[in-house]
Amino acid sequence: MIQDIAPWRLDNAFLPIEPDVRDLVLDLTAEGILLAENEPRLPCVEEWRAWSPSDNTSLIYAFRVIRDENASCDEDEGSLADERRFFLALRDSEASLSVPEGWRRTPPSALRPLPSPLPLAAATALHLSRWYDARRFCGRCGSALRRSERERAMLCPACGNVEYPVIAPCVIVAVTDKDRLLLTRYARAGAPRFVLVAGFVEIGETAEQAAAREVMEETGLKIKRLRYVGSQPWGLSGTLAIGFTAELDGSDRVCLDTSELSEAVWVKRDALPPCPDLSSLTMDMILRFSRGEL
């Protein structure tokens, strides 16, 4: 899955540090993240500063990935072999932005099949970038916010309000009936692949309650024997996904919520469609069911 980046591990602790010329830049706009044209590589600070306008852009520390001390080292990585630090490019405006020669912009979601840790770094950067962009002004008094120098937070100098990165919990449910798995397809345009029942946890409910509610609301099915499978950070939508399996309780007749889904079908274990990639918890759970592991 996208968070499985061994032999690296993500260290997201906030560090009040300035970038080194060899650190990597996460430069995001509405068109995507900046990568080298002929390879999936982020620009280093030195490369980025050579062309980026400095009047409305700042680099702030995002996170780092650290190599396991027991892992082998690639000689070509030199001094960056044990640690890679990432800085997020923040702008006051995206007006008149151009892509430098030899570089391109790619949607972070398109990086899912690539080797780690780039997909996780890009998705996490997108999560942070959207949060910073939406936290320019205080939601309590309307004053301009400023970045904290001690932690990852936005501070209001007028009323003292503190804003931390927002993470929305959601549930993913693999509903099973012996050797059958319930697959669904979203109603929105551009959703070609089958997925599992999923939805956000609402205020005042547990993840388990949200799982039963979402299955009932979207498919009209009752479930039992809910079992936790795992969780996943999913920066592409700013969520923390919590995965469950559940058994069908009663009738298998689907009553579809057409505002959410276009299709919901029971599929036998040996007829499940191939997973396009295993970056998501959803696809990982479908694959594990097909192997008899769920």
> Can you give the CATH number for the domain in which 208 is found?
3.90.79.10
Print burial letters for 98-135: b (CB count within 10 Å at least 16), e (below 16). eeeeebeeeebeebbeeebbbbbbbbbbbbbbbbbeeb
Q: Domain containing 77: what range?
A: 8-117
Residue 135 lies in a domain: no
On whether the pTM is more than 0.85, the answer is yes
Window from 56-60, 121-125, 173-177, 192-196 with minimum mean pLDDT: 56-60
pLDDT at 285 exceeding the cut of 80 = yes
Q: How many CB atoms lie under 10 A from the CB of residue 257?
A: 16
Q: Which of 117, 150, 183 marks a domain boundary? A: 117
If asked whether residues 194 and 277 sit together in one domain, one would say yes
Q: Which of 117, 140, 159 marks a domain boundary? A: 117
pLDDT at 53 exceeding the cut of 70 = no
If asked whether residues 109 and 174 sit together in one domain, one would say no
Three-state secondary structure call for residue 121: helix
Q: Which of 82, 101, 117 marks a domain boundary? A: 117
- The Cα–Cα gap between 188 and 193 comes to 12
If asked whether residues 185 and 113 sit together in one domain, one would say no
The domain total for the chain is 2
Residue 153 lies in a domain: no
Q: Which two tokens stand for residue 213?
A: 């509610």
Window from 62-76, 200-214, 243-257 with minimum mean pLDDT: 62-76
The pLDDT assigned to 77 comes to 43
- The Cα–Cα gap between 58 and 88 comes to 8
Residue 19 lies in a domain: yes
Mean pLDDT calculated for residue range 84-107:
87
Distances from the Cα of 201 to the Cα of 59, 94, 198, 207, 208, angstroms: 34, 33, 10, 6, 9
Residue 203 lies in a domain: yes
If asked whether residues 88 and 193 sit together in one domain, one would say no
pLDDT at 244 exceeding the cut of 90 = yes
